[in-house]
Structures are given as structure tokens and as C-alpha cells.
Structure 1
Amino acid sequence: MATTSITSALGAGSGVDIKELVASLVDAQFANKTKQLTAKSDALTKQISGVSTLKSGISGFAGALAALAKGGTLATAPTSSNSGILKVSGLSGAKLAGLSASVEVRQLAAPQVATSPAIADPIASVGLGSFTLTFGKATVTDGAMTGFTAGAAAPITIPITAGNSGLSGIARSINAANAGVTATVLTDANGSRLSIKSATGEAKAFTLTANEDPAAPGLSSLNIGPGATGTTIGSVAKDAIVAVDGVALQRPSNSISDLIPGVKLDLVSAAIGTTVTLGTSAPTAALSQAVNDFVETFNQLGAAIKEQTDPVTGLLKSDSATATLARSMRQLTLTPLLTDAPNGVPATLAEIGVQTNRDGTLSVNAARLTEALTKWPDTVEAMFADGSGASGKGLSAALTSISNTAIDTKVGLGASTARYTKAQADLADDQSDLADAEDVMTKRLTQQYGAMDARVAAYKSTLTFLQQQVDAWNSSK
């Protein structure tokens, strides 16, 4: 088609369309090279996209499984026979098989709460100076502190300045000290009161003693401690008292993690004489669901890998990192997840019913999985336990290892991304060079054919003149 266009144009003499002629010649010269570079650029873009898809797929898969393992839903959980008295939860990494205990909550831990008399104006100055806050153990009778033994911690001084000498300002100063108590101002029809609250535990009782500025007295009306007449102790600092299997123990908090190995106790209410029985609940349904979810996600990622590595159409069929990922995923069901499993006890996914089909996909043998969950519940649970610690065991640890290798920037898909990105940058340079060459050729041909057009026009002008002379001579005869 380009040849026909050039031929017809050359037959037009000085009427040649030089722009179209040059464009046709340049296109004919560079068409194949341009097509090759464009095709290569498109392939690199798709390769980068494919690598990104696989990186996202494997890292997302590993991350989701790790989060599930850490979440605790796949681990044997402690149970309480009366959650209205005592709630229980398992600590991370705890092995609770065989847990059995009885707990009696005899007393809840409580903070000390002291409240001042009502004052009409919470902003009006009470006095200037400072307070000394001291922690220890107290004896309280009918809202009055009758005895106090200071603890080992050093007393804390809280300055009260002119800008913070009202109840509201004093509360701000106490809170700003971060001394272990919280101050609030409570207001009703009778006025405003300063309320100060400690953490729970009998050793968190406290006294507050004013060091008054003689020129502006009044802070002593807020004193807390033996002999203080203005404030009232509304809540006495107490330890929790819990009897575990009949043995009474004290703790300063209602959230206790060091009485029963692997179990956190949250005390809800005291019930002297009522025993709460602790046991365990196996996560059979959750583990079964986890196995099926794993297989489904594995197959989704496997489909993406298969598409990218197809021997005919796969853009990553020659990518070594993708091949390594595909091989690691194929071997996963046969990888021992429990290195210390006794003979006859399943240690791989294949041995609990995760089977590999002829096309490389996975499926679940429901009967075999049920058998494994019935005979070896602790083993299956261990396979899905959080393996991020020193042991490095379990499915999550195995998949995380595959993911880390796959996305590695030196030998994994990260390196592939860098390689394809560099190739794309080099290709962009080639395309730029080609564009420059096209521009040079366009200018050269335009000049050549422009000169030719000028000469043809001159020849035609001379021919026209001669024809006129001949016509004139013929006419004169």
C-alpha cells in the first residue's frame, strides 16, 4: 500500500505531497522495530503485574493464616461454669489440655476513692501550696481513715499554683502529675466535690496531705488520711481474694494471669461459698473450618500461579522465583509441621485429610479430617498454632517461610520485579532512541524531497516558458 502511494505521488510532479510521502517511507523503515518494542513493553508490563499479583497473593495468604493462628480461635479455650462470677480466657501459646480447677471468688479488688465536702464554686480558690501524696495500706472505719502504713515508694509532691487553686484546677494538677491516682470534680445540686481514685489493691491506699502557703491557707480542707475530717473514704482499697482448689490467694487486680498456668481470670463478682468450675473447650469446628478455608485460599493462589506459568501463554513461565514458589506450594501438604510427633500420629496436612488432586488443586477428605480431629485433636490444633516464636513449627510458620522466600528482593519475586522494571526502563531508552532516529530520517527526507520538489517546479516553469515561445513562433508563421 505504501508503494502505490509513493508511485502515484511521484507521478504528480511538483504536486507531490511530501509530508505524506516522507511519513510513508519512515513508517515503512521503522514499522517492524516499533512493533517489536511495543510488544516487548506490553509483555514487561504484564510480567510486572503478574509478579505483583503473586507477591500480594502469597503474602496475604501467609498474613491471614498467621493472624488466625494468633487470634486464639483455633486453640483450646478455658471455660467457666459461671461467667457471672468469673470469666476466663487463654493466654497466648498456652497448652490447656487437661485443665481442671475450682475457683471461689471471695472478694473483688477495689480502689480507694476519697471525696471532699461540697463547695459551691468549683473555680473559686481553695488555697495555695502543695499536696504530698503517699501510697501504703490503710484502715478505714465508717468512711474515715483510722490508720495508715506508708509503703516503700517515695511520696509525690503536687504543687497547687494560683492558676489551678480551685477544685477544677486542683484536679488538673493531680492528673498532670501522673502519680497513680485520678481526680475528677463531681457536681450536683449541693455543689461540687473533688473525688480522687487510686488503682485497685490494698497497697494502693493513699493519703493526701496539704503543705499550705501561710498567705493563702485552705488546702488542708482536702486532706485525706487519719485525722482528716473533711473527706470521706467511699471505697476502701482491697486486694482480690480467690480460692483456687481451696487455697485462698490475694492479688491486687481483678484481672489475674499468674494463678492458673495459661489462663487469665477476670473476676466479675464476689460469691463466697460458690465454686466455679474451670474446664476446656476444644476448637473442633473452628479447626475444621480453618482446614477448608486454607484449601480454598490455596486453590485460588494456585490458579493464579498456574496461569502465570502456563508453558504456552504464561508470561512468567521462565521466571525462576515463580517456579520456586510453585514448587514450594506443591510440597506444602507433605511438609512435616510437627517435628516431635510420635510414630503413628499425623504430622502433615496430607495425613489429616488434605489431599492433592491430579490437576494440582487441593481438596479435603472430610472423613479423614473428622477422624484426625477425633483421635488427635491436640495434634491438629498444634499444626494450626502460632508458630512465630522460637519453635517455628506449624502451618503458619511453614507458609510464612514460603512467603518470605517468595517476596525476597535478592532471589524471590522482589528480584523479578526489579529485573523486569529495569528491562522496562532500558526498553524506554530504546524507544526513545528509535523515536530520535525516526525524527532524523523524517527531517532528512523532508529536505531531500523538498529540494526535489523545487527542482521539478523549476523544470515545469522552464517547460511552460518554452512551450509559450514555441506557440508564439508557430502563431507568427
Structure 2
Amino acid sequence: MTDVSSTSAAGTTTTSVTKSAASALLTSLNTGSGVDTDALVTGLVQAQFASKNAALTAKSDKLTAQLSGVSTLKSAITDFAAALDTLVKGGTLQSQPVSSNASVLTATPISGAKLTGMTASIRVDRLATAQTAVSVNSVASKSEVIGSGTFTLKLGTASYDAGGAMTGITGTDADGDGAEDTIAIDITDGSLTSIAAAINKKQAGVTASVVTDADGRAFLSLRGETGSAKAFTLEATSDPSGTLSQFNVGPNAAGMNVTGKAGNAVLSVDGITVERASNSISDLVEGVKLDLTGTSTTPVSLSSSVPTKALTSAVEDFVYTYNLLLGELQKQTDPITGDLRGDTGAQNMMRSLKGLSLRDLLPGGAADQPRTLAQLGVLTNRDGTLSVNSATLSKAIADHPGAIEAMFSNSSDGSGVLSALNSIKLNATSTLYGLGASATRYNQAKSDLTEQQDRLTTQQEKMTTRLTQQFASMNARVAAYKSTQTFMENQIKAWTNGNN
């Protein structure tokens, strides 16, 4: 379509420059100081190329506006999808597990879990415990050198006598060589601080620390991991000075008091008794991580709570953001004023967005449950914008919470609002047929314009050179004619005076 305003402006500019050039010529020829060839040549060259320069400028401005429009739409759809992605993956739109007694256990959802309608009854009989040991005798300073040698650490399942004293340990055999696994810990000029550091450096499941009492006396404290298979023994297998054995832990060791035994958590889930090595459990109730905090004689009820308010806000926010994007898209594709009114990528994006409210977001879902945004109460207005029927939305959430949560879940099967919007974004920004392709096309056109402008500039420079040479020659001839005219006028005056 021809830009009428640009053509008019070009014509006005050409006429103005032509008049200016003619005026300069007449003025220069009527003066006795010679022709101003610089002004004359500049005016004539501008007049010759004014319309072409104006046309190229108009095309360049249009391409700049089109590239700006493409960038705006790409950013808008990308930001929309990113915001929805953050909201969906944040987990606030999915049912949350609720414990009837947080002093016994708390529950948190595992990412991607569907907890709608989830129930469980859990009784905690015993918490998982860790073996702990503290040195009987203290030392005056935690930096005092005690001795050198080697400790051997062994992890496994301990046995105890009736009094609770350790009588033995069955070590683990992680490498399957038929021998119990042991860890050697070398001590050189060891103080309590360096002994603890050497144990911790092995990261073998036993943590050492130095505890100082009110009198400044230092004690060695050891702690294992929870679980009955995480008991440990510590033995000074190389002790030249005989001073490291005071920190032995195990059967018949008197230098360290075993203050806590390693044990599993024991609990009952829906009447089935199970044990776990940790108080954080993720494999008992599907989709839920349990954190045991105490024991109980009566079961704790575990249920789920539908995030009605969060889902309602999500739908309303989705509609609000959709309308903002649609408004920008309608502005860019307006058939009269839109910079992208003929752009295929923008038109395809418009069609995809307008079909979103009727798109099946739960393929294969039950026929009696909502599967489109329209069935949630998202209505399409005459101008293409969306609005929310609050009553319809509230009823849909109350009657079909699982379906609504599924629509706003982070699914991997291509279902849901997020997958649909990501699909629209991918197509809209495609470098093959979307706005990405439009940007490539406009950039190429702008590059072509630059080449045309360079050629036009070269032509202007050549014309300037040619006219400058021509008018310089003309100026010289005019100067010669004026000189001859002056000579003849002087001669005539002399003849006339002589006759008088």
C-alpha cells in the first residue's frame, strides 16, 4: 500500500529544493561577484534525488516500526509463558497435604504430585535415632596435643545387651568383597580439634565436634546418622603413645559413653507397620514427604486441601494477562494503522490465541469434567477479549478440583494451560513461519535498503562532481565575457569623450 503522506512530503521537498536552486541561479547571475557554484550544485543535486531519498527514508521508518512491533509481540508472549511457568511450577495451584497433628508429623507435597482426594491414617510409634557418644574424660584445652596414630571406623548394625550396652556390630559390605567395610583415619600430633577435623574430613556418616563445658574443659562428641544400620565403632588400631584409645567406641570401650543408640523409625500407615531409617520419609504416601516430629498413641489423619483461592486468582490473572497481550496484538495488526497489518506471523499468533479458550486442555479426560477454559467460565467477548464468570468458575473448582488442578499442572504429556501456551509461544516465535521469520525478513529488507541508499549516495556524489566541473567551466567563461564587456565599455566611453 502506498504511503500517501510520505509521497506528499517527498513532492513538497522536491518542489521546495527546485525553487531554491532556481532562485540561487538567478541571484548569482545578477550579481557581479560570479556564480555561487557550491550552493547551486547542492540545490540541484538535492532536487534531483529528493524524491528517491524520501522514499527510502519512508521505507526504512516502516521497517523499523515493523521490527519494533515484532520484538514487542515476541517479548509479550515469552513473558506471558514465563510467568505462567513460574506460577504452575511453584506448586501453589496444587492440593496441599494437611496433617491433623503437626507435633507428630508434618507433610509437604512432592513436585508434580496430584493429591486431590488423598487420605491416610498414620501412627508414629518410634522416631528414628542416631548413635551418639561423648568422651568420659576431658582435656584441659581443645588444642592440647594428645597423640598420633590411626583410628578405624566401622559402620553397621549394632547389638545391645539388656542394659543397653553395645555388645557387637555387623559391619556393612558395600563393595561386596565379603569383608566388612572400614575407614582408616590418620592422626598426626592430634588435639581434640584436629581429631574431630580428621573424622569429619572422611565424610563417612559420623560427625565429630568438640564441646567445652562451663569450666573450659573440652570433650569429644561423636554423632552418626539415623537408622539401625548406621551404628558405628571407632578403634585406635595404631596407638604408639596409648593415648588415642581413650576415644574408642564399641564393645568393652570405656573411654566414651554411648549416649544414644541407632534405630529406625517405626510407624503404622493405614494399619500396616513399617520401619524407615530416617524421620524424613518420601516413599510411604504417594506424592507426599513426611517429616516425623514426635510419637503418638492415636493415628494422625493426613488429608489434602484444594487451593480454591489460588486457582481462582490464577484463572483471573491468566485472563488479565491474555487481554493485555491481545490488545497489543490487535494494535499491531490493525488493518489501517497497524505496523504488522499484513504480517503472516502476527496473524497466525492472533488465530492461535483466539482459539485458546476452546482448546481441549485435558485430552482423554472424563466427558463430565471441564476440559476447556470456556467450561471453567472463561468467556470470549465480542471484541475478542476474555472475561471470567465467577459463579461458573467457583462451581467448577468445587465440583471438579482434580480437573482444574490438572489444567494448571506442570504436565509432561502436553496437556494443561502451560503446555498450550508454550506451544503458541513456540509457533509464534518460530524462525521458519512465525515472528522470528518476520524479523529475519524485515532485517534483510533493511539491509537491502542500506545498499540502495549507498548506491544513491554514490550517484549523488558523481552528479555533484560533474555539475561542479560544468559550472566551474561556465563561471570561467562568464568571467571572460564580463572582462571583454568591461573592456568594450571602457573603449566606447573613451571614444565618446574624444568626440566631445
Question: Which moves more between the two structures, 300-309 or 189-198?
Answer: 189-198
- 2:79 corresponds to 1:54: no
Please state how far the C-alpha of 1:466 moved relative to its aligned partner.
4.5
Separation in 1 of the partners of 2:435 and 2:52?
30
- 2:234 corresponds to 1:208: yes
Equivalent residue, structure 1, for 2:269: 244
Does the 8 Å contact 1:353/1:364 carry over to 2?
yes
1:363-405 residue CA offsets vs partner (Å, 9 max, x unmatched): 1122222222232222222222222x1x221222111111122
Equivalent residue, structure 2, for 1:88: 107
TM-score under structure 1 length normalisation: 0.90
Does the 8 Å contact 2:69/2:340 carry over to 1?
yes
Please state how far the C-alpha of 1:286 moved relative to its aligned partner.
1.7
Change (3 A) 1:449 1:191: farther
Change (3 A) 1:40 1:193: farther
Separation in 2 of the partners of 1:442 and 1:118?
101
Q: How many residues align?
A: 471
Does the 8 Å contact 1:14/1:454 carry over to 2?
no
Separation in 2 of the partners of 1:15 and 1:191?
110
Change (3 A) 1:143 1:342: closer
Separation in 2 of the partners of 1:300 and 1:281?
32
Structure 2 residues without counterparts, runs of 5 or longer? 1-18, 175-180
Q: Secondary structure at the match of 1:343?
A: coil
Which residue of 127, 130, 138 corresponds with 2:147? 127
Separation in 2 of the partners of 1:275 and 1:248?
12
Separation in 1 of the partners of 2:303 and 2:88?
21
- 2:431 corresponds to 1:412: no
Matched AA of 1:250: E
Structure 1 residues without counterparts, runs of 5 or longer? none
Separation in 2 of the partners of 1:53 and 1:221?
73
Does the 8 Å contact 1:138/1:146 carry over to 2?
yes
Does the 8 Å contact 1:131/1:158 carry over to 2?
yes
1:42-79 residue CA offsets vs partner (Å, 9 max, x unmatched): 22222222112211221222222233222222222221
Equivalent residue, structure 2, for 1:76: 95
Q: Secondary structure at the match of 1:241?
A: strand
RMSD across aligned positions (CA): 2.6
Does the 8 Å contact 1:13/1:457 carry over to 2?
no
Please state how far the C-alpha of 1:297 moved relative to its aligned partner.
0.9
Does the 8 Å contact 2:160/2:167 carry over to 1?
yes
Q: Secondary structure at the match of 2:184?
A: strand
- 2:252 corresponds to 1:227: yes
Change (3 A) 1:140 1:433: farther
- 2:286 corresponds to 1:266: no
- 2:358 corresponds to 1:334: yes
Equivalent residue, structure 2, for 1:198: 224
Equivalent residue, structure 2, for 1:183: 208
Please state how far the C-alpha of 1:257 moved relative to its aligned partner.
1.2
Aligned 1:443-458 pairs, distance under 5 A = 443-458=465-480
- 2:173 corresponds to 1:152: yes
Does the 8 Å contact 1:54/1:305 carry over to 2?
yes
Does the 8 Å contact 2:116/2:401 carry over to 1?
no
1:10-57 residue CA offsets vs partner (Å, 9 max, x unmatched): 433543332222221222122222222222222222222211221122
Separation in 2 of the partners of 1:38 and 1:300?
32
Matched AA of 1:122: K
- 2:138 corresponds to 1:138: no
